[in-house]
Amino acid sequence: MQTKDMTGGLKEPNMFKPLLALIDLSASTGIANAQTSNTGRWILEVAPTGCVVHTASPSGTVVSIWGIAGENDLSFLVQNKGWNSLSDGEQYDIEVSFDNQRAFPMQATARLNLDSDGPGLTFGVKPDHRAGGASFVDQFAGAQGMHITRDGRRIDTVSLADTKVAMQGLAKCLS
């Protein structure tokens, strides 16, 4: 497995647990353990049949996006150690918005006991998923921040520094 940060520098392969298990799981069953740093930089991990990019915010929220070769959806996992009120397997209606643009309603599944990054919410996005005129992926790639809202309350805002580079790396990896 090859691991690079999004600026092109190679990372020690043993810094991250292999994602091979991830690639064998469907998006609804979770993500393999991965360690991230709170540098705000995206990390790209490559496995034979898929790829994942992830970053961590100073508030402790980890965002992971993965794709599996031949699949249409991108899978998102947003985790935070403080989200202990989630119930494993339960569906939650959330909204995701970028730089206060129009929100994308999503149905997310809660996953507990994933890894040291804490419980999380996972959801799939088709690359052409739209709210208004812009696609989710286009807004995500160009945004400075991602806002996650549940029950009308913002539960977190995640900085998206270098997201365009991360999405380009993910797309190249999957092609």
Q: Which residue in the block uniquely carries the two structure tokens 């991108």?
A: 74
- pTM attached to this predicted model: 0.73
Both tokens of 174, joined, read 């999957």
69 strand-pairing partners: none
CA distance to 1, 62, 105, per residue, from 115 (Å): 20, 11, 26
Chain centroid offset of residue 164 CA: 14
Q: Per-residue confidence of the chain (175 residues) as pLDDT tens digits?
A: 444 443 343 332 222 222 323 333 332 222 333 322 223 478 888 877 789 988 888 888 899 998 887 788 889 999 999 988 999 999 999 999 988 788 899 999 999 988 999 999 999 998 777 766 778 888 888 888 899 999 889 888 888 877 888 888 888 888 7
